[in-house]
Structure 1
Amino acid sequence: MVDVSQHNLVPEHSVLEEDEIEEMLTEYDIDRTDLPKIQRRDPGLPDEAEVGDVIKIVRDSRTTDQAVVYRLVVE
């Protein structure tokens, strides 16, 4: 079977630690529930991601070197 998360077109996904989450939420002055959502069954998610986790996604960008986005894992 093919592991989609290892494909070269899938951006890097990583689960944030609680202290990193708090720092990011404070920086953007938002609540965790204000984040865009990503479903737990998304094939790009790391295996250890669980509902309620915050995922950091780092994408290549034409205008900046990298674009960082955050998603809240939902059922």
Structure 2
Amino acid sequence: MVDVSQHELVPEHTVLDEETLNGVLADYDIDRTELPKIKYKDPALPDNAEIGDVVEIVRDSRTTDEAVVYRLVIE
């Protein structure tokens, strides 16, 4: 079986700890439930991701070198 999360085209996915998450939510003045969603079964998620976690995704960007997005893990 191929581990999709390790493919070179899949951006880095990291589960945020509560302290970092609280800082992100405060910066954007939003609640966790207002974040875009990602399904728990998504093969790109790290093995330690659980429903309710927030994942930081760092993608390559032509204009800003890196684009950082956040997703709430849902069922």
**Aligned structure 1 segments of 4 or more residues deviating by more than 3 angstroms:** none
Structure 2: gaps spanning 5 or more residues: none
Q: What secondary structure sits across from 1:21 in the alignment?
A: helix
Equivalences for residues 34-73 of structure 1 within 5 A: 34-73=34-73
Q: Deviations over 1:18-62 (max 9, x none)?
A: 000000000000000000000000000000000000000000000
Aligned match of 1:27: 27
Q: What secondary structure sits across from 1:19 in the alignment?
A: helix
- Cα distance in 1 for residues equivalent to 2:41 and 2:31: 23
Structure 1: gaps spanning 5 or more residues: none
Report the number of matched residues.
75
Q: Percent identity?
A: 71
TM-score (norm 2): 0.99
